[in-house]
Structure 1
Amino acid sequence: MDIKEVESIIEGVLFASGYALHINKLAEILQIDKDTLRSILARMMDYYNYERRGIQIIEIDDCYQFCTRPEHYEYIQKIVEPRQKQGLSKAALETVAIIAYNQPITRSGIEEIRGVNCDSAIRSLLERGLIEESGRLDAPGKPILYKTTQEFLRCFGLKSLKDLPQIYPLDTSFIDREE
């Protein structure tokens, strides 16, 4: 196959799937090696961005997906049914941040950091597909471990967890200390 045909197949497969496809699955479908495929995908991504097309290919954690350009949101929302979902509560945002930076983590681990019960926040995050169960801790009671999902990465505009902002230790040097 020549490059143009491979690009055409990639476009068709990504469009038809409607969701992100892992590089391994794309390589299997196209029967080409991952390095070549990554190179082709990078070129396609550059093309869509350079030409300022209405769609783009995004990469999220080694998965690729077609999506519309964020700057066209105000026009696209006029034809798409508005979602009834509200934004995340402060508790849910705190909880998903704790999970993102400490995954995999148990409910009790989250509650230890937050200092309050997190049942409602975890339930909300599970319903939205932002977190998922990732096994059980080998400890008494075998508590469930939670981790973030690709949907979390997509919603927060991250390619991978490596793109999370770095957390710096709190500077307490300005606090007067009685000695």
Structure 2
Amino acid sequence: MEPVSLLRSRLESLLLVADEPTTATDFARLLDVSAVDVTETLTEIATEFSDRGMGFELREREGAWRLYTRRDNSETVEAKVLDGAQSRLSRAALETLAVIAYRQPVTRSQVAAIRGVNCDGVMRTLTLRGLIAEVGVTGEIGGAHLYATTELFLEQLGIESLEVLPNLAPLLPDVDQIDVP
């Protein structure tokens, strides 16, 4: 078997330690090579991983690259992750997360109005776990913080985008129709 190139070896090492998707341009800057060479090598790696049926995949999304576990192995990976290594979300947290996922961006007050209970503590927990994040403020006087789900939320669900969520949104009121005290 032929040894891999130095560029490929370095890219594989960087992919293993990257904590977020990284663009070919960023890799090229770190490695002092062209972005074209990086993209060609990343594409080669991704194709090889796929063709060999490896336990992980190299995926490109919106111009950024990241290693993921193979989708076909999701049940096995989920069993390991849920095997006491991760505490489960409470029912209140799951409800709050669902409201945010379907109606984002939303304010705390809007989420509380939909759920019918104060959700400040739950929102803090979801923010600390990295499942939601502040994405701006409303244009109103006093500007309430707006929240949306994060990339980690999508990764934890094993989905590429919110469009693949079941169509429950019609069952929730529109955020503009919610009276907030």
TM-score of the superposed pair, with normalisation by structure 1? 0.69
* Equivalent in the alignment of 1:21: 21
Query: In structure 2, do the counterparts of structure 1 residues 132 and 11 end up closer, same or farther at CA, with 3 Å as the change threshold?
Result: same
Q: How does 1:66-145 map to 2 (within 5 A)?
A: 66-69=67-70, 71=73, 73=76, 77=80, 83=85, 85-145=86-146
CA contact (8 A) 1:60 1:150 kept: no
Q: CA deviation at 1:89?
A: 1.7
Q: CA deviation at 1:98?
A: 1.7
Structure 1: state its 5+ residue gaps: 171-179
| Structure (1 or 2) with the greater helix fraction | 2
Query: In structure 2, do the counterparts of structure 1 residues 82 and 167 end up closer, same or farther at CA, with 3 Å as the change threshold?
Result: closer
TM-score of the superposed pair, with normalisation by structure 2? 0.68
Q: How many angstroms apart in 1 are the aligned matches of 2:108 and 2:47? A: 42
CA contact (8 A) 1:111 1:118 kept: yes
Letter in structure 2 aligned against 1:102: R
- For residues 45-91 of structure 1, the C-alpha deviation after alignment (integer angstroms, 9 at most, x for no partner) is 342133122332245665432244463846x949xx952x3112222
Query: In structure 2, do the counterparts of structure 1 residues 165 and 40 end up closer, same or farther at CA, with 3 Å as the change threshold?
Result: farther
Q: How does 1:28-47 map to 2 (within 5 A)?
A: 28-29=29-30, 32-33=34-35, 37=39, 41-47=42-48
Letter in structure 1 aligned against 2:21: L
Query: In structure 2, do the counterparts of structure 1 residues 5 and 61 end up closer, same or farther at CA, with 3 Å as the change threshold?
Result: same
Q: How many angstroms apart in 2 are the aligned matches of 1:87 and 1:62? A: 32
- For residues 14-55 of structure 1, the C-alpha deviation after alignment (integer angstroms, 9 at most, x for no partner) is 1132x2223253465465458x82x75455334213312233
CA contact (8 A) 1:106 1:146 kept: yes
CA contact (8 A) 1:60 1:160 kept: no
Letter in structure 1 aligned against 2:161: S
Q: How does 1:163-174 map to 2 (within 5 A)?
A: 163-167=164-168, 169=170
Structure 2 residue 120 is matched with structure 1 residue 153:
no
Structure 2: state its 5+ residue gaps: 172-181
* Equivalent in the alignment of 2:55: 54
Q: CA deviation at 1:168?
A: 6.2
